[in-house]
Amino acid sequence: MIRAPEVLDELKNTNWVKLLRKRLHGPKLHRTSLESRPLEMVTILRVEVAVMLTKVLDDTKPFQLKFVRPAQMQLFARALCDPPLGQTTVIPSHQSLVTFNVCIESSKSFPEQGWEAILWHNGHDNREWRELAFEENLTTNIPLAISSKGRPRVYRRYFTARLLRPSSSESIQFTLKYRTSSSDSWKWVNEHSSLEDGELYFQPQQLPVELKDYLKGYDPRLSISSEASDTPQTLLWSITAAVSKAEGKNSGYTDMNLGLPNSFTRWFSLVRIWSPWLAPRHGKGKFAPTEDAVLSSFLRWDGLHLVILAISGTQDVLTVLRPDADGNVIAHSRNDDEEKGKLQVVVAVGRTFETANAAVMYHARKLVQGDQYMSRETKEEMKAQIDNGIKPEWMENWYDGLTYCTWNGLGQNLNEQKIFDALDILKSNNVKITNLIIDDNWQSLDNTGDSQFKRGMTDFEANKEGFPNGLKYTAFTIRDNHPNIKHIGVWHAILGYWGGISPTGSIAQNYKTKLVRKQKGVAGGTFTVVDPDDAPRFYNDFYKFLLESGVDSVKTDAQFFLDLLDDADDRRRFINTYQDAWTIASLRYFSIMAISCMSQIPQILFHTQMPTSKPRLMVRNSDDFFPDVPSSHPWHIFTNAHNSVFTSHLNILPDWDMFQTSHPYSSFHAAGRCVSGGPIYFTDEPGKHNLDLIKEMTAQSIQGNTIILRPDMIGKTVNVYTAYEEERLLKVGTFVGGTGGISILGCFNVSERPLAEFIRLSDFFGIECGEDYIVRSHTTGELSPPVSKDSESPAVSLEVGVKGSDILTAYPVRSFTLSGSTGLRQEATQVAVLGLLGKMTGAAAVVRSEMRIEDNGRLRLKATTKALGIFGQLKLKDHWQILTMKGIYISSLPALVIEEHLLITIYSRAIPLHTVRTSQSSALVLEIDIETAWDEMGLQSSWNNEMTMEVFIK
């Protein structure tokens, strides 16, 4: 067969008949008449050639062939359905009607045709499969269609069908078929795709109240107590059992059967993918994760969610969840204490995963209680450090400052000159980082040339080869040359280095050491470490040295090594002692400025990261960013989004790791970091920077610092049961503000083909019933019609290409009736604050806003921001247009004259008129360049680094 590029080249110089003969017979065969070939082959090839010819000639103009039959168009049409095919949709108990929405897309390479669509379902009491005809939606109440870049234009037809809730509680399966006319055959939507039937689960009015209704056949030795839940409409149980004690160096082990989950259809687990990291696992049918799980959830046929959480870190007991051969959930516990321990598991049932998951996490927090396993001296020391206070500017810079890390960018052969040069290049590109992390390989180590696991830390000071003038010279030189850098951090392992402490170095000579054995594996064998008896003094002296050297933050890695210790008595002595010593020293010398890495072992998750008795800790949320492994990038975002359903309930700020801004997946990673709710730091090679992308992630604060626009809520997946292989968009939800705030949804294509889906307002977190919202796409700037949570139509039809992503933001809309000098305006004016323009999460720049009608009939809008940029306002009447830039949104802007009807002030001073304009992209958008206004007016920042702007509309 001839190759596609050859076809495209030849199309410019030949007609379709010659080409079709060549495709049918090959260049060396004789010219046989087309009629001798099967009709189906001729038809398909005709359509294929027509499509290619259209793209070559002019993709913007429809090219219609007279011989095209309607049946041919069905081969290239695409149907989207909501509720979705291939997925499960839970119908709340109060909902009596299910509305189906379908969009049929067909290429503009062909004439536009009418379409028919049929819902095929078994939603009847006798479970027979029947048809339900769709009605075409000819109104303007249709979703906003957002296409991926470069996609050929299409026609779209929208259809609606309504299905009554069945009298029985059984689930319903459904699929879809469509055609162009009654004389043509139907095309089933799954004929040319991998989509399975969709399913509807109907929730009951009342939740079954006994644990045996959800888990059957559990071990009678379990102690089970019903608990009061802190989340609404959930049931909660605490399960305990005794765990055998350790004998010498050998741990005690106990397995307890928690039972077989009843009537479930899908399961999700967060597992220990390997010692330091968590990752998601999914399945249908029998519960069968291949690794030990910390948390597991089950979606039942009645739409209820069963969540099981295994608690560790108390009394030296580690507990995980495992399946047996029959799919029972087994609680497997290891006890390192010489006394009997206690297995602890929490189980909850709720109408949503979010409420059930919150129920088990809140109760776990009560059980752990933060400091009950610390000594009195440790508790008093930690309290004293916290009471010393944390400066607000430290929190802002550390949490919200843009950070550069040396790891991938400068490589492992690190030296001070590489760091100086990289920072100078950033400065020359006007990239003003706030924090710098000097990663691995600055330390003084032994055994040069050996693997990292064979090298031990010899001294606190930096190595002489790369840092001949010492760490202090490096740090203070950086601070002198780059005053924008507020914090400098260095990397180290929890036990010193990957190979611990050098037995011949100065550290070993000054601190008590111990030779310990690690479990078999890559890092197996014996190595020397500081004994737990001396760990507090070691950390105190080490961090004191760092602070005196100009280093005021740390990234403490390889924390899972504490659990890799092979002997029970070593783990018992090391894990909590080292964690507490590190925590206290970090607070004493660095306040909150520490990153915990490779620390997702269950004991640390519950002992160190869950308690709320200390400041929020920054913690790596997944395995590393691997720039040279293409397949790792979608999985990296997917894993972080799922891990966050657990880590968002810890007292931490999840860190999705560094990335590179000049990389095939750079925008993909950037979008992930922006919606994560955590820090953003990058590791570019010197000079290889995507400056536009950096600007999309950051803004300039009132005090001139570069900050990230971090949402208030930790970003996490909105659908925990969708597996990585299912070819569905990964949706990561986050939120800005409190009640009435702005909801953000990051949409990521983690598959290997373009994906298209309907996006409903219910996919967003924090949406309030009865309120109108508009949804905006960051990539295109398009804006949806107003939609509410109970709207029958989805808000958006979204297509995302391979390696692609989009960030959708749902803004609440408020309505006012204005009267002013131009007389009473009968139309309601709708207003929404959209935030800064050109930023992935520009809504997060808005600290607060308020709107009200004054006595004189003017609308007064007051918005406080923490960053400068282009701010805007959009007004709408009865019609809606595309919004291409963010801003403030008003509904009658076309009828207003800026000079006469608008007054905009900062700190009660009118801003220059030329900084206010109607957007060229939309007559409904008022853009306010507060950055230019701020500079021209010579304004100064206030103590709280916020700026308040007021807009008056008459």
Give the per-residue pLDDT at 273. 96
Q: Is the pLDDT of residue 38 over 80?
A: no
Pairing label, strands 829-833, 846-853: unpaired
Q: Is the pLDDT of residue 898 over 50?
A: yes
Hey, what are 58's tokens? 């002019």
Task: Write the CB contacts of 493 (distance below 8 Å, at least 6 apart in sequence).
Answer: 457, 500, 556, 557, 558, 561
Q: Is 227 exposed, middle or buried (0-12, 13-18, 19+ CB in 10 A)?
A: middle
- 3-class SS letters over 572-638: HHHHHHHHHHHHHHHHHHHCCCEEECCCCCHHHHHHHHCCCCCCCEEEECCCCCCCCCCCHHHHHHH
**Residue range 800-822: mean pLDDT, rounded:** 84
Give the per-residue pLDDT at 891. 54
- pLDDT band, very low/low/confident/very high, at 537 (cuts 50, 70, 90): very high
At 684, the amino acid letter reads D
Give the per-residue pLDDT at 664. 95
- Give the residue carrying structure tokens 């290429």: 107
> Which three-class secondary structure state does DSSP give residue 446?
coil
- Is the separation of the CB atoms in 399 and 617 below 8 Å? no
pLDDT tens, position by position, 934-944: 889 998 876 67
The Cβ-side half-sphere exposure at 80, using a 13 Å CA radius, reads 22
Contacts 24+ apart (CB under 8 A), 874-879: 874/832, 874/834, 874/922, 874/924, 874/925, 874/926, 875/829, 875/830, 875/831, 875/924, 875/926, 876/830, 876/924, 877/827, 878/827
Give the per-residue pLDDT at 548. 98
Q: Residue 149 CB: number of other CB atoms within 10 A?
A: 10
**Residue range 564-590: mean pLDDT, rounded:** 95
**Residue range 374-382: mean pLDDT, rounded:** 70
- pLDDT band, very low/low/confident/very high, at 289 (cuts 50, 70, 90): very high
Give the per-residue pLDDT at 782. 84
- pLDDT band, very low/low/confident/very high, at 274 (cuts 50, 70, 90): very high
**Residue range 40-56: mean pLDDT, rounded:** 39
Side by side, which strands form the sheet with 859-865?
A: 846-853, 859-865, 947-953, 902-906, 909-910
Range in 255-259, 277-281, 392-396 the model is least confident about: 392-396
**Residue range 654-670: mean pLDDT, rounded:** 97
Give the per-residue pLDDT at 883. 28
* R_g of the chain computed on alpha carbons: 31
Give the per-residue pLDDT at 110. 81
**Residue range 423-428: mean pLDDT, rounded:** 97
Q: Is the pLDDT of residue 666 over 60?
A: yes
Q: Is the pLDDT of residue 18 over 90?
A: no
CA 558, distance to chain mean position in Å, is 24
pLDDT tens, position by position, 426-442: 999 999 999 999 999 99
The Cβ-side half-sphere exposure at 399, using a 13 Å CA radius, reads 23
Between residues 861 and 61, the one the model is more confident about: 861
User: How many angstroms separate the Cα of 370 from the Cα of each of 228, 238, 378, 855?
Assistant: 20, 18, 12, 53
d(CA 806, CA 741): 20
Q: Is the pLDDT of residue 872 over 90?
A: no
Range in 54-68, 260-274, 440-454 the model is least confident about: 54-68
DSSP letter (8 states) at residue 703? T
Side by side, which strands form the sheet with 97-107?
A: 78-82, 97-107, 154-164, 135-136
Give the per-residue pLDDT at 832. 86
Q: With the C-alpha atoms ordered 287, 289, 291, 293, is the resulting torsion angle positive or negative?
A: negative
Mean pLDDT of all residues in the chain? 87
User: How many angstroms separate the Cα of 290 from the Cα of each of 55, 174, 268, 424, 823?
Assistant: 48, 32, 12, 48, 71
Q: Residue 17 CB: number of other CB atoms within 10 A?
A: 11
d(CA 564, CA 493): 14
Q: Is the pLDDT of residue 9 over 70?
A: no
- Is the separation of the CB atoms in 40 and 72 below 8 Å? no
Pairing label, strands 435-438, 487-493: parallel
pLDDT tens, position by position, 207-239: 999 999 999 999 999 999 999 999 999 999 999
Q: Is the pLDDT of residue 72 over 80?
A: no
Of 522, 542, 518, which Cα lies nearest the Cα of 457?
542
- pLDDT band, very low/low/confident/very high, at 701 (cuts 50, 70, 90): confident
Give the per-residue pLDDT at 139. 79
Hey, what are 921's tokens? 């992209």
Give the per-residue pLDDT at 453. 94
Give the per-residue pLDDT at 168. 86
- pLDDT band, very low/low/confident/very high, at 509 (cuts 50, 70, 90): very high
Of the ranges 166-170, 552-556, 753-757, 825-829, the best mean pLDDT one: 552-556
Give the per-residue pLDDT at 191. 81
- Burial profile 705-743: b = 16 or more Cβ within 10 angstroms, e = fewer: bbbbbbbebbbbbbbbbbebeebbbbbbbbbbbeeebbb
- Is the separation of the CB atoms in 621 and 643 below 8 Å? yes
Q: Is the pLDDT of residue 243 over 60?
A: yes
- pLDDT band, very low/low/confident/very high, at 946 (cuts 50, 70, 90): confident
Q: Is the pLDDT of residue 645 over 60?
A: yes
Give the per-residue pLDDT at 594. 96
Q: Residue 771 CB: number of other CB atoms within 10 A?
A: 15
C-alpha angle 710-715-721 in degrees, rounded to nearest 5: 170
Give the per-residue pLDDT at 29. 35
pLDDT tens, position by position, 772-782: 999 989 998 88
d(CA 501, CA 526): 11
Q: Is the pLDDT of residue 58 over 70?
A: no
Of 605, 493, 609, which Cα lies nearest the Cα of 555?
493
Give the per-residue pLDDT at 181. 80
Q: Is the pLDDT of residue 90 over 70?
A: yes
Q: Is the pLDDT of residue 523 over 90?
A: no
Percent of the chain residues past pLDDT 70, beyond the cut: 86
pLDDT tens, position by position, 708-754: 999 999 999 999 999 999 999 999 999 999 888 999 999 999 999 99
> Which helix (H) or strand (E) covers residue 42, if one does?
helix 39-57
Give the per-residue pLDDT at 393. 58
DSSP letter (8 states) at residue 298? E
- Is the separation of the CB atoms in 868 and 931 below 8 Å? yes
- pLDDT band, very low/low/confident/very high, at 786 (cuts 50, 70, 90): confident
Beta partners for 786? none
pLDDT tens, position by position, 683-699: 999 999 999 999 999 99
- Give the residue carrying structure tokens 């998601």: 280
> Which three-class secondary structure state does DSSP give residue 702?
coil
- Is the separation of the CB atoms in 794 and 760 below 8 Å? yes
Range in 46-55, 598-607, 890-899 the model is least confident about: 46-55
